[in-house]
Amino acid sequence: MKICLNSFNMNKHQQRKETPIYSGVLMYFPDAIAEVARCSFIANEQHNPGTKMHWDRSKSGDELDALTRHLMEAGTIDDDGIRHSTKVAWRALANLQKEIESGENSLDSKQ
């Protein structure tokens, strides 16, 4: 896991301390994170039935278009029982993950 921070004058310990995954994300949004995890499970069963949970990126390449389609129906439930807003969050996380991995607009890449 690469921590995407402006790391000027920060050591690894400082970077970890300033990336509070538990207290800064999980504790802020426990219900939302649980829903995104449930969305991942249901999507895995739909697209890769019977396989170990994994993100099949070959079936997931249009994050921003899909995010926008779900955003247009925010506040409602999709046919599979998942909130469209949950799918917006999943797609936003997928897009962010890909940006970070590619170094696209990364603070670290500007150093």
- pLDDT tens column, 72-95: 999 999 999 999 999 999 999 999
3-class DSSP state for residue 77? strand
DSSP 30-70: HHHHHHHHHHHHHHHHHHSTTSPS---GGG---HHHHHHHH
Measured CA distances, 83 to 39, 55, 92, 94, 98 (Å)? 9, 19, 14, 17, 23
The pLDDT value given to residue 9: 62
Q: For residue range 37-71, what is the model confidence (pLDDT) as tens digits? A: 999 999 999 989 999 999 988 887 899 999 999 99
For 83, the 3-state DSSP assignment is strand
Confidence of residue 32 (pLDDT cuts 50, 70, 90): very high
In this structure, the chain runs to a length of 111
Domain coordinates in residue numbering, the chain: 20-102
